[in-house]
């Protein structure tokens, strides 16, 4: 992972623990969202179906979906800046290609075709495939259908290449211009963020929102990577939290029942305003109150990528099995879903990360290099 540190007033080297904590907690929130999504009554594609026609818990998706991936792209942009301060662009591209491109391409054919099988089984896609189709063709179909949550890695790799080109051309000039950004100006960035959300949205696979994700990734690199900017933002944490709660309620009231994951709802003014307010509130509040660590926080931050990569396969696999075998109260399904997404994803990471070849294809972990050297940032910080 990236080695991002700050220097305190006494000249001591300190890690930006608040970014670690934002990342692993947001990944867990993504996993929680997918648990609700698996049984939701709003979006039917890729789910096992709702319990009732109107489910209050579906509202949780509306309060999570607008901001969590935008936040992850902002954090990724910040981390890219800190990495490039210590490494060459060529090293940056090599690192991102191993960590992001390998799992989201080659990994599909080695392991994540299993996710493709589960997703196709949930959607009854096999019923539309003729029986005389060769097994090898079915395998390729499952592999291409198995990207699941890996779209994030694919898009982030592409944005990393674009950033590398920009960084090589601008040579830090633009970054220096943004160091004086204050909180009102950060709030006003909601306008270009809104405009970016209206463009470069793929029509079928709606998660590929190139406009808003690319723009906020660059904002992370050029604006939020300034420690001074985040410190200024942290002074307004409480007003930003209150504003986010209000805007989230307004968005939920206006659009509950609509398809929150697709245009025009996902890019509407209330969704983007709520998204941006939540991102600013989280960045500021975590800088103010969450810049700390302990053994548990270190452990979770070092496994965040693994949980993200594997949580959906364990969740969807269990949901498919349960939908075919048993009937239980809804809260039991949710409870099992939380355990299998977080616990199962973590367990699968701990297992696969110890298998040299498989860990390279699924996690980008090099053979002969301990996984903690690549996923535990604190060790790298101590080594310098």
pLDDT tens per residue across span 2-50: 444 544 443 334 689 999 999 999 999 999 999 999 999 999 888 999 9
d(CA 153, CA 62): 23
Question: In which band, very low, low, confident or very high, does the pLDDT at 378 lie, cut at 50, 70 and 90?
Answer: very low
- H/E stretch holding 71 reads helix 68-84
Average pLDDT of 108-118? Answer: 97
pLDDT in tens, 247-285: 999 999 999 999 999 999 999 999 999 999 999 999 999
How much is the pLDDT for 322? Answer: 95
pLDDT in tens, 140-154: 999 999 999 999 999
Residue 156 pLDDT exceeds 60: yes
Cα maximum dimension of the chain: 71
- Nearest CA to 5 among 58, 96, 81, 116? 81
d(CA 179, CA 222): 9
Q: Cα-flanking dihedrals φ and ψ of residue 293, to 5°?
A: -150, 160
Residue 380 pLDDT exceeds 60: no
Alpha carbon 151 to its chain's center = 10
Question: In which band, very low, low, confident or very high, does the pLDDT at 368 lie, cut at 50, 70 and 90?
Answer: low
Location of structure tokens 């992001």: 100
pLDDT in tens, 43-99: 988 899 999 888 999 999 999 999 999 999 999 999 999 999 999 999 999 999 999
> Are 142 and 117 spatial neighbours (Cβ–Cβ below 8 Å)?
yes
Residue 345 pLDDT exceeds 90: yes
pLDDT in tens, 288-343: 999 999 999 999 999 999 999 999 999 999 999 999 898 899 999 999 999 999 99
> Bridge-partner residues for 13, per DSSP?
7
Average pLDDT of 214-232? Answer: 97
Average pLDDT of 108-132? Answer: 94
d(CA 373, CA 380): 7
Question: In which band, very low, low, confident or very high, does the pLDDT at 367 lie, cut at 50, 70 and 90?
Answer: low
How much is the pLDDT for 14? Answer: 64
How much is the pLDDT for 177? Answer: 92
Query: Whole-angstrom distance between the N-terminal and C-terminal Cα of the chain?
Result: 15
DSSP letter at 177 equals H
Residue 371 pLDDT exceeds 50: no
- Global pTM value: 0.92
> What range defines the domain where residue 335 resides?
5-383
At 97 the three-state DSSP class reads helix
d(CA 167, CA 208): 23
How much is the pLDDT for 275? Answer: 98
Residue 132 pLDDT exceeds 80: yes
Residue 373 pLDDT exceeds 80: no
Average pLDDT of 362-379? Answer: 58
How much is the pLDDT for 9? Answer: 41
Question: What's the structural domain count of the chain?
Answer: 1
How much is the pLDDT for 15? Answer: 82
Alpha carbon 78 to its chain's center = 14
């Amino acid at each position: 992972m990236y080695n991002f540190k700050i220097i305190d007033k006494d000249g001591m080297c300190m890690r930006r623990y608040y970014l670690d904590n934002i990342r692993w907690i947001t990944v867990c929130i993504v996993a929680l969202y997918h648990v609700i999504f698996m049984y939701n009554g709003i979006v039917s594609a890729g789910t096992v179906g709702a319990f009732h026609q109107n489910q209050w818990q579906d509202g949780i998706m509306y309060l999570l979906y607008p901001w969590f991936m935008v936040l992850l792209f902002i954090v990724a942009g910040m981390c890219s800046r800190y990495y490039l301060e210590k490494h060459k662009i060529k090293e940056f591209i090599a690192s991102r290609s191993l960590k992001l491109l390998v799992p989201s391409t080659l990994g599909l054919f080695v392991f994540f075709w299993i996710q493709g099988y589960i997703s196709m089984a949930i959607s009854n896609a096999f019923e539309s495939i003729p029986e005389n189709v060769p097994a090898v063709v079915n395998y390729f179909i499952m592999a291409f259908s198995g990207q699941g949550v890996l779209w994030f890695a694919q898009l982030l790799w592409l944005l990393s290449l674009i950033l590398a080109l920009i960084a090589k051309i601008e040579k830090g000039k633009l970054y220096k211009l943004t160091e004086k950004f204050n909180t009102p100006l950060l709030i006003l960035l909601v306008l270009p963020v809104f405009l970016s959300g209206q463009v470069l949205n793929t029509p079928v696979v709606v998660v590929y929102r190139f406009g808003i994700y690319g723009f906020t990734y660059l904002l992370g690199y050029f604006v939020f990577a300034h420690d001074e900017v985040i410190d200024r933002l942290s002074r307004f944490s409480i007003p930003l939290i209150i504003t986010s709660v209000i805007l989230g309620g307004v968005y939920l009231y206006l659009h509950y029942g609509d398809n929150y994951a697709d245009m025009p709802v996902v890019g509407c003014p209330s969704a983007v305003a709520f998204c941006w307010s939540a991102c600013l509130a989280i960045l500021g509040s975590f800088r103010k109150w969450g810049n700390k660590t302990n053994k548990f926080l270190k452990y979770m931050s070092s496994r965040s990528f693994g949980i993200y990569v594997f949580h959906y396969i364990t969740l969807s696999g269990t949901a498919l099995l349960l939908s075919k075998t048993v009937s239980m109260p809804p809260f039991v399904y949710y409870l099992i879903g939380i355990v299998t997404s977080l616990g199962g994803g973590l367990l699968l990471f701990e297992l696969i990360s110890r298998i040299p070849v498989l860990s390279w294809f699924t996690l980008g972990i090099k053979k002969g290099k301990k996984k903690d050297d690549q996923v535990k940032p604190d060790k790298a910080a101590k080594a310098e």
